[in-house]
Amino acid sequence: MTSRLFSFIGGNTGPWRVTSARAVAGEPIAQTARVLVVPDLVADASSTPGWVLRGITSNERYVVRSEKDQLLAKQQGLGRPEATCAALIPIRKSPAWWALTQDERRAIFEEQSHHTRIGLHYLPAIARRLHHCRDLSGSEPFDFLTWFEFAPENEDSFNHMLVELRASPEWGYVEREVDIRLVRD
Amino acid sequence: MTSRLFSFIGGNTGPWRVTSARAVAGEPIAQTARVLVVPDLVADASSTPGWVLRGITSNERYVVRSEKDQLLAKQQGLGRPEATCAALIPIRKSPAWWALTQDERRAIFEEQSHHTRIGLHYLPAIARRLHHCRDLSGSEPFDFLTWFEFAPENEDSFNHMLVELRASPEWGYVEREVDIRLVRD
């Protein structure tokens, strides 16, 4: 069975070398040399040199059928040989976001912020996997961890996508965001 | 801080005495004398006489603002002195349900099955708390645990509500359901 649970371990091991780790909003995260991605739940032991972030893949919460069909037709998987760049972007949204109802969240996410429409524009160059943290334990430091992979020549367009998303009304509900960039070596 | 995590321990202790535990769909659950509700995550140790079911309260996934406002205006909390009857109903939905998109699930949940409208009809007599299990670990035996409390004179209407819900199109996606009834003594 494929794991839905993933742990991202910031420390001294793993194939992904950290090139930068910047707090976009809220508290930063400890600087580490490398990140190891493990398809399992790893406890945050005191022996861990840096940090452990944990998340679980789940069903989609906002896309409608027409959007999902477009995503499925265009998106590519992780692990492409040419995709030697990655980004790990942990995000926490505010209590005000979680107090909204489904229709209110959908309206901000897509009708106002065009989150899926923006993302679609950058497919298939950017591959991604979204992990949910909030319902894992009720006390995780972030709500979402998104892992992105792309080839070096697509880094500019990846950055452009983030500029678009961060300028959207949805990002008014982001109270903590860290942007960790990595290369595989 | 109020816990979002709850464990339901089927065993020989706790204020709630089990009066029946019936499999409505799929595999039954081990019979136990009592259920203890703990606002914390409890591991399923081999020393546990019966079972441990775990879930986490979360944001609502389907209600729209007008429905939420009606729910908030009518619903009452758990722990009312007169509510000496309870039901614990663990449910697992099929992979087909989880493969649907948000708009498809909402259409089945409310426009076709009137889940919230049916529930509203039985407020404030029936109090409830919904717990999500699916994103807790990826290997929980159920997707949802709903805990209901009501006074003995409302047992008939509680049963009637379940008949209505179980006859709805949404229940075509329920592959496992157990109905555990309890009294407080």
Residue in chain B lying closest to A68 (CA) = B101
The predicted model scores a pTM of: 0.95
Backbone dihedral angles phi then psi of residue A174, each to the nearest 5 degrees: -90, 115
The pLDDT value given to residue A1: 62
Angle, vertex CA B26, rays to CA B111 and CA B52, nearest 5:
100
Residue numbers in A near B138 (CB within 8 A):
3-5, 56
Residue in chain B lying closest to A39 (CA) = B138
Q: Do B102 and A106 touch (CB under 8 A)?
A: yes
- pLDDT at residue B142 is higher than 80: yes
Q: Do B132 and A135 touch (CB under 8 A)?
A: yes
Residue numbers in B near A39 (CB within 8 A):
none
**Which ipTM did the prediction report?**
0.92
Q: Which band of pLDDT confidence, cut at 50, 70 and 90, is reported for residue B173? A: very high
Q: Are A94 and A173 contacting, i.e. CB atoms less than 8 angstroms apart?
A: yes
A101, A110, A137, best to mutate vs chain B, most B CBs in 10 Å: A101
Q: Which band of pLDDT confidence, cut at 50, 70 and 90, is reported for residue B43? A: confident
Residue in chain B lying closest to A69 (CA) = B101
Summarize pLDDT for A111-161 with one digit per residue, the tens: 999 999 999 999 999 999 999 999 999 999 999 999 999 999 999 999 999
Cα end-to-end span (Å), chain B: 29
B38-56 mean pLDDT = 85
- pLDDT at residue A44 is higher than 90: no
Of B56, B65, B98, the CB nearest to A135: B56
B154-161 mean pLDDT = 98
Work out the number of other CB atoms within 10 angstroms of the CB of residue B74.
14
Summarize pLDDT for B51-77 with one digit per residue, the tens: 999 999 999 999 999 999 999 999 999
Q: Positive or negative, the Cα torsion across A151, A60, B61, B56?
A: negative
Closest by Cα among A129, A144, A156, A114 to A75: A129
Q: Where are the alpha helices (DSSP H) in B59-167?
A: 65-74, 95-99, 102-106, 115-121, 134-137, 155-166
